A and B are shown apart, each in its own frame.
Chain A
């Protein structure tokens, strides 16, 4: 989980800082700066930036597969104006498509929860604390349903089209 990851990192940094402080205390102000450079061996592969498939968030969607939550999620998608950014049926508008099985910030239920909860730098608002976590999970349920079974990799100009609303 990213939050716990961040917390763990913070704790580690604080601990290192405390250790450095005590080092200063022991060796005095004239200690060489190289004393603080400690290399740590990493026998494992270091993954590229988050999100990574090498770890999974322990968050579980309580509404996974819940038909009523899916329906409520669809209503919330309209009520919170998600529809006018991401398009009817999530086909993309101001914001990216949610109906293409492709996820910029990860597509697991926990990752989609995080995107809604935290917001994203391209203008996705931070909804955490503004709407309930339950509502976010219902949105996750609905949003993830939009790309079910979709494969949009090929466009051969013979297949179906989607309706879009412009501005």
Chain B
């Protein structure tokens, strides 16, 4: 028998697939909108005619556009995103080499943001109107107003250049060297995670205040349950809507990593993307954007599943 969770997930996947399809059409179409002959745009007008012909063949420019698209997607599903004419590398290989770096960075930002937001939101809500709440509220407002790249530069000036405590540029994989790897991820993680921490702090605070207002908590308190456990109960309920926001923010972290990689010279997918833009390497560009978007959509599906799982009403428990 199909459980409600399974049915729900299938529905979400059925939503995600057309979105991905549409997104891929848009990316594909956009690249074709580049004025002029893409082959000449990529190689320059005085390029070797044989290479121009090879690029046209690789792009399938002689076929009708829908054939080109179907070919591209067919290959993409099998993991082949084409070969870059600038670097002469397989795009999927280039992405595979960079993807773990970007994911570790995003994860670092995610951990930092929750490590800040959960205590900050709880303290802010339970100390409503007091100094701590003011600090939490100010953080919520400032955190979303400071662009992450500038926060990164300020951290670089303070911790990297003046205090010399942490590495300011580069990347070591935490899989190869956990201690160094984490040291390299601390400043980028804070840079990336602060904005999300601010958003989640605000959201958690207001949801928790809403929850603490409910009468049922008084009843629980009167039964002699400790304040801490009452808070725990309220927090669990307050978290349900917060999860959606956390999920959406995770996607933004992925986008923000492009900027943070640039600040801290981290060789991730964002650098690959910027290099591709700089060298008009449209084959790499469309592959990278497609992979980012796939992750973004996948995260949304996972978040919806988590939301479903946390929310007893949706789960329909008997």
A, B co-complexed: no
| Chain A residues near B (Cβ < 8 Å) | none
